[in-house]
Amino acid sequence: MFNNASSQVDRRLNSLESHLQQENPVLLQVVQSFRELDKVAYRMGLISRDDSFATRVPWWPMVSILGTFSSGKSSFINSFVGQKLQRTGNQAVDDKFTVICYSKEEQVRTLPGLALDADPRFPFYQISQQIEHVVKGEGKRIDAYLQLKTCMTEKLRGKILIDSPGFDADAQRTSTLRITEHIMNLSDLVLVFFDARHPEPGAMKDTLDHLVKNTINRSDSNKFLFILNQVDCTVREDNLEDVTAAWQRSLAQSGLTAGHFYQIYNLDAAMPIEDATLKARYENKRAEDMIEIDERIRRVEVERVYRIIGVLEHTAKLMMNQVAPLTRSLLQRWRKYTLVLDAVLIGLLAMGVTALISAGLPVHSWLDINAWATQPTWIQVVAGTLAVAGVSTVGFLHLMLRKFTANLLIRRLGKEIPETDLQEYVRNAFRKNTHPLRPLLHAQPAGWGRLAQMRIEKVLKHTDTYVQNLNDQFTNPSGRADASNPTIQPETK
């Protein structure tokens, strides 16, 4: 079974390397480093044999577009790609997450969600399993949540866009919220759209909380751009600043006090502006903000390469500095609890035997081995049978105590560590180490030792090389005209 799972992972990674060879050769060596981490993770039990750290990160730059219903997300996408790709309207016109990527064919194609769920290059690889964990039975309905569209435009080459269904908190399903969280975590850039035509944004507090609150205190909060769209609706009253301020106050009430707030509208669908001065002011503001948004979208290709290397480094350090020590600490607590309960169990049995002797029963004769060897009495036979049964019972109770204390600590782990990759890895490693066939007194976690540490140290050394070589490609501090752009070639020792 392990060989079959391993071969499936190898096929997926080989396919990934084949695509990277053509699309981004600089990342080929990074895949090999992920393979090294996988070897350690398999031995420690952090991930299953049909999984890989390399398939947990999207390899294409990813721009996500979230927002309220009728906030102009689809119109923005159509304008960006230069085609009428997404349906538009004042009501909800699409109830699926749409992944849009480049294609060599001029014809636009729409593919089912399965195309995303089964391809490790996309951010929705095996998302059906996560949906199934959240809502039983919904994982089989992946096509009801996702679809893939292809479009031949140079603006999409080397990146993907994700258009979300209109965000209405009152009608959200748990699984849709789970996908939204997944998108926000993996995206290189998140555009959050709001509709300037809603004069009272405070009435949308639940929606704003879902779209904004989770961005607070994130280490990558700078990847969120908040866009007030369709601001041409303020032309008649000439109150763009007032409307913008109202939305900013609403965002502040949701906890967002930083971040850039853009103001745009669709020129093709905008209401006519008769006043030339007013028209110039609106169009100039829109042009300035669109230039900044386009620049941020353009930069995601470079940022994604650094981001993948950052994930590699983060995972390696997580395994060495947190997963291994926390698993070791958890095992020490588990051994202590189990041995204490074993001692209590043995003490109770000793008290029972002492009580029998105190009652005057001939326990000493039951244990007379010489008598057993010659002519055992029926009492000794019964006693021997009970002794064997007692030893078996003690062994069974010991296994039950091991399992009980392990489950107790796993439940506590959920309270001590947030539901993150760290919790998942420690929990999986702990379960492997508390398997009934694994000795209780092992000092080190399974699969962790000097060889594993050397593998991780090697990966960390290579990540420094990857970053240095990328810096050589995108920077030239010396200013020398002969500066080259070397490909990543970490040492192989």
- How far apart CA 184 and CA 182 sit, in angstroms, is 6
> Looking at this protein, which amino acid is placed at residue 466?
Y
- How far apart CA 120 and CA 54 sit, in angstroms, is 8
What is the tens place of the pLDDT at every residue in 267-288?
A: 877 778 788 888 888 889 889 9
| 8 A C-beta contact, residue 9 and residue 50 | yes
DSSP character for 267? T
What is the tens place of the pLDDT at every residue in 339-357?
A: 898 888 888 877 776 765 6
| 8 A C-beta contact, residue 254 and residue 212 | yes
- How far apart CA 399 and CA 451 sit, in angstroms, is 31
Q: Which residues in the chain come in under a pLDDT of 50?
A: 1, 91-92, 169-172, 203, 483-493
| Crossing angle (nearest 10°) for helices 276-318 and 421-433 | 20
- How far apart CA 81 and CA 351 sit, in angstroms, is 81
Q: Where are the domains of the chain?
A: 57-272, 323-445
Sheet with 146-151: strands ordered across: 109-112, 146-151, 97-102, 160-163, 62-67, 189-195, 224-229, 261-263
- How far apart CA 335 and CA 333 sit, in angstroms, is 6
Predicted pLDDT at 448: 94
Residue 263 host element (H or E): strand 261-263
Residue 399 host element (H or E): helix 378-416
Predicted pLDDT at 493: 38
pTM above 0.85, yes or no: no
CA-based nearest residue to 438, from 403, 462, 414, 470: 403
- How far apart CA 475 and CA 63 sit, in angstroms, is 24
- Helices and strands of the chain, counted as H and E runs: 15, 8
Token pair belonging to 370: 């010489």
Residue 297 host element (H or E): helix 276-318
- Helix, strand or coil for residue 33? helix
Predicted pLDDT at 433: 92
- How far apart CA 388 and CA 390 sit, in angstroms, is 5
Task: Confirm or reject CATH 3.40.50.300 for domain 57-272, answering yes or no.
Answer: yes
CA-based nearest residue to 76, from 220, 231, 211, 213: 231
CA-based nearest residue to 309, from 462, 492, 485: 462
Predicted pLDDT at 319: 95
Q: What is the secondary structure of 423-438 as a DSSP string?
A: HHHHHHHHHHHT-TTS
| 8 A C-beta contact, residue 371 and residue 307 | no
| Crossing angle (nearest 10°) for helices 421-433 and 324-358 | 40
